[in-house]
Structure 1
Amino acid sequence: MRTFEVKRRMSPFEKSAFGESNMHIQLAIQVDERKCISDIVSKIKNNFIPLGIQAKNDYLVYNNKGSQDHTLPNDINNCEEACNWIYNNKHPNNVGMATLGFNDKYIAITSNHMISDGGLLKSIIDIIHDRSTLKYSHPLPIAPDESLYHSVLNTDDDIHSVDPSQLTTVVSRFQNNNRINDNEYQECRFQNAIIDLNRLSKGQLTDKLWAGLLLSMCAYNGKIEKLGVATCIDMRARTDLSLSLSNCCLYSILSHTAPFSKDQTLKELTNSLRNNMQKRITNGEMTSFFKPSAMIYENEGLSAEISNVGSFEIKKPISDAWMQIKFNEKYNPAVLSLLTFGIKDGVKNDLVLRLRYPPSRLKDEEAMLLVNSIKFSVLNLPLDTNIEKAFQEIQTFQNLNSSK
C-alpha cells in the first residue's frame, strides 16, 4: 500500500490547551470471545480517527499507514490495568497521538486529549455494537475553535469559561497548597468508588453528584462558603454542526454557581446550579472555553470540577469496560475533578466515580475519604434534604471514616 500524508496546522486552542501537556484519555474493553477480537480491532482502526494522527511541530499529520499496534501482556487482570499499561507504553506524539493494544481478552486505547474526548470514546462502544450514527468525513480531526469560529470570535474577551474564585474549594489538612518547582510535579492520582445504580431511583443523578461533590468538599473544610462547580459539557448535542467521526474533541467547561441558604433543599441548590449553567449557555458563553485567555485555574486549594460521560451500554461479546484520563499535575494543579461513567448490561448497572487530584496538594487518604463521601451522599441523602442537614450528615460520615 502506498503511504501518503495529509496535514493541517494545530489551531490556537489545540496548542494553548493541550500543546505541552501530553494529556491522554484511555478506554479498555474486556472481550469474552477470543474469535471476536480481530473484528472488533478492525472496527476500531477503521473508525477511530486519532489512530492515524501524528504531531509534527505545529502540524497534525494523518498517515494512512498508522502507528504500530501493541500486544498487551497476558498478566493484565482487568480493564483498568489495561488502560494503565497502554498509557505507560504509548507512542511518542510524532509516531502516533493514539496507541492501540490488545491480546486475546482485552483491547485498550490511549489517545492525546487534543484530538479525543469522553464522547468519542463512548462512540467506540456504539461502533463495535453497530449502533453508531456517526459517519466518516475526513481523516483529520476537526479543530473545535475553527468549526465554531464565529461563535468564538463573538464571545466577549472578559468572559471566562472557568473562574475558580466562584467555585467550591477544598484545602488539604496536611499538604502545602502552594506552587511547587517543575521537577517536583507528579502524575495526577485517582481514587475510585462504584455505585450500583439499581439501588437508586431513576433520574436526577447529575443533581445528586453535584450536591455530593460540593458538600463533601465543604464538610471536609468544616464550613460552607460558596457553592459552585465547573461542569464539562459535551457540545455534540448543543451545536448545529454536521457531526461526524472527525468531531474528535468537542466539549466545553463552564463554571456555574448558586446562591444558597442552609435551610434550602439540595434540589433547590441543584436547580440554581442548573439555571445558572443554562443562562451561561443561552448567553453564548460555552464557546468562551476555546479562547486561550478564558481559563483561569490558579487558586488556594482545589476547585470543584465534574464530568459525566454517560453509560457504556455493553453486550456480548464485551463483558466489561473502563475509561480514564491521565496526565502530569503540572498542567492542572488546582482542580479536584470527579469523572463519572456507567457500565451497563442486562444485569449490571454500575456508576464509576473516579476522583482526580494533584498529589502535591492532597493526600491519598484525603481523596479516598472525599470520594467515599460523595458515594455516601448519592446513596443516602434525598434531594429534599436541606443543605444544613446534608452537610452535618456528611461531616458525621467523614469523622467516622477519616482514620479508616
Structure 2
Amino acid sequence: MAKSVSYWIASLVVAVPLGLYSAFLGLGSIPFFQRHFLYAHKIHTLWWHEINEPTQWGFAKNQVTPFSLPTADGEVLYAWHILPLPLYGQHEAVLSAQSTGFCKDITQTENFRLLREDPTSRLVIYLHGNAGHIAQAIRPPSYHALTDTSAYHVLAIDYRGFGRSTGSPSETGLILDATAAVEWAMNVTGVPADRIVLLGHSLGTAVASAVAEFFAKEGVDFAGVVLVSAFSSLPKMLSGYAIAGWVPVLAPFRAWPWVLKQVEKCIVDRWQSSNRLEEVVRTVKARNGRLRLHLIHAANDWDIPCHEDDILFAAAVNGRVVPGGDGMLTPEQAMRTFEKGENTITTPWKDAFVAEWAEQDIVVRREVFPYGGHNDIMYYSPMLLAVMRSFGIVDEVVVSPA
C-alpha cells in the first residue's frame, strides 16, 4: 500500500508540471495568448496606483507632466515628461502653481516651455521592458537616477496596450509607438536628434534597436543608443530562457534541434535586434554618420543572460553574427576587429569587462557589470555613464587600469 501511494505521488509530481508546461506551450502557439505571455501588459498595478499623481514616487509637485501623444496608426499613448530636478528647482514657484494631474495640452505648460526654449536641453527617451506600466517596479527609480542631479529631461511612454495607452501590443505596433515618441520629441518640442538618447531596457532594447534602424536609414543620428539587459532575438533568447531563472520556456527542446526550429517558427514577434544593429552600423558607416551604441548587462542577470550581448556586439562590430550562433568572437574576428576598428580596448574586471570598438565616427561599447541583476542595473552607474558618454559629458575612451 505504501509503495502504491508513493508511486501515485511520484506520478503526480511528474505529470502535473508536465501537463502545465504542455498547456502553456499549446496556448503559446496561439498569437493572442503568445503576445499576452510575451508582453505581460495586463499584469500591472493600476488598480491601486494613480499614475496621474507622480508625487507618489517621490517627484516634486508638477516635476512630471502626464500627457498623451498620438501614433501614426491612430493609437493614443500615455506618457510622462519629467523635468531635471535642478531645472525644476530654478522655476519651482511657477511650476508648482500649475494644475496637477493629467494634462490635455502639454504645449501650454511651463514644463514644455522649459524643454522647447532651451537650445541646450538634452532628452532621454525611455523605452521600458515588458509588464507593468510607466510607473511600476524599477521605472521610477530609473527616472530619478536620470533626473535628480542632471540636466536631462526624460520622455517615458507606455506602449499600446500597456497602462492607459490604447490598442494591443505587437512588434509592428511597439515600433510605431517609439517612432511616435521620437517624432514628437523632434517635431513638437524641437529637440534635435543629436540631443536625444534612446534608452531601452529588456524588451525596450529591441524596440530601441528597431527605431534606431528606422531613423538611421532616414539619415538621423541620435546622441546615443543605450541598450540595457538586451537580447539578440526573441527565438534565440527563448531557446535558453527560464522564467524567474528556473522555469524553462523552450530550453527542453534544445536536445532536438529540428523540433526546436519548428517550435520557433510559431513565434509571431521575432525582435531580431542583432540583425537590426548590424544594419544600423552598416547604414551609418556608409553615409559617414555618427553613432554611439552602448550595450550594458549585469553579470548576475538571471532573466536574460549577459552572453546575449556577445551576439549583439559581434553583429555590430563584424556586420554579421558568428557562425554557429553563439555570438563569441573567434580569434580571427577579434584580430579583424582590431585592424578594422582603430580603437578596440578590453578591460577585464572580476566577473565583468568593458570592450570598445571604434571606426570613423562610430563607437560600439559593451560593458558587463558584476552586479545589478536584470532590473536594478537600470539605475546603476553604467547606465548613467553611458548616457553621459552619449552626450559627450565624459570621455568615451576606455582607459586600462595601471
Fold in common (TM above 0.5) = no
Asked which structure has the greater RCO (Cα within 8 Å, sep 6+), the reply is: 1
TM-score (norm 1): 0.29
TM-score (norm 2): 0.29
Larger strand percent: 1
Question: Between Structure 1 and Structure 2, whose CA radius of gyration is higher?
Answer: 2
